[in-house]
Structure 1
Amino acid sequence: MADPVSVDVPHKLGREAARARIAGGVGKLADMFPGGGTVEEHWEGDTLHFTLSAMGQKVASRLEVFEHHVHAEVDLPPMLTLFAGKIREKLAKEAPKLLE
């Protein structure tokens, strides 16, 4: 399997406020991926684990919330690794909007 797509998103909200904002906007995550669909999610502590459908594939991802940044990792199935660069760019651009 290819390395996950990783992005760190800085914020000044603090851990709890960032976590709350992400929880309120997790449904928008599907829009960040080509062919995005439904999102299945669950929290383990300060880490959001979610799976979404993209182009007929299941994409497992994690958002780990820290005091001053959120670390996002997306595990792409082999078919979608061609889009890794575009997904990384889109995450870097769109993920901060989840914290607004």
Structure 2
Amino acid sequence: MAKPLVVVIPHQLGLEEAHRRLDAGIGQAKEMLQKAGIRMADATWEGERLSFLVQALNQKVDGHVDVAADTVRVEVNLPLILSLFAGKIQQALDQNGTKLLTKK
């Protein structure tokens, strides 16, 4: 197993608003992933941690999102074969996460 991919996204929303936006964004994420041929098998909240499981290219990818008052930390455990795409995945997480957490 490759080392986890970690993305930390700063925000100025506070804990509750960041949590609310991430929760609302789960549906959008499922749709976006499905268009790319990736299935989100599970996404569950426990406190301020969202744990998820997706399936891509016959591989299971799990991880979690930790929400804090000023940052969101995403950790994804990629199987070795999918670690080849780590750069693109990191970029997508950073860009989409920043959009979702930008103050409006």
Which range, TM-score by smaller chain?
Answer: 0.7 to 0.9
Do the aligned residues in 2 keep the contact of 1:32 with 1:90 (CA within 8 Å)?
no
Deviation track 1:48-95 (CA, whole Å, cap 9, x = no partner) reads 001112222211011100000100011101220111111111111111
1:8 — aligned with what? 8
1:72 — aligned with what? 74
Larger radius of gyration: 2
Question: RMSD value over aligned CA atoms?
Answer: 1.8
- The separation in 1 between residues aligned to 2:79 and 2:3, in whole angstroms, is 10
Count of matched residue positions in the alignment of Structure 1 and Structure 2: 100
Residue 38 (structure 1) aligned to one of 40, 45, 63: 40
Do the aligned residues in 1 keep the contact of 2:33 with 2:39 (CA within 8 Å)?
no
- The separation in 2 between residues aligned to 1:94 and 1:39, in whole angstroms, is 20
Q: Cα distance 1:96–1:39, how it changes in 2: closer, same or farther (>3 A)?
A: farther
1:22 — aligned with what? 22
Q: Cα distance 1:39–1:14, how it changes in 2: closer, same or farther (>3 A)?
A: farther
Do the aligned residues in 2 keep the contact of 1:27 with 1:39 (CA within 8 Å)?
no
Cα deviation for residue 42 of structure 1 reads 0.9
Do the aligned residues in 2 keep the contact of 1:37 with 1:53 (CA within 8 Å)?
yes
Gap regions ≥5 residues in structure 1: none
Q: Identity, % of aligned pairs?
A: 40
Gap regions ≥5 residues in structure 2: none
Cα deviation for residue 19 of structure 1 reads 0.3
For the residue of structure 2 that corresponds to 1:3, the secondary structure is coil
* 4+ residue segments displaced more than 4 Å: none
- The separation in 2 between residues aligned to 1:74 and 1:96, in whole angstroms, is 17
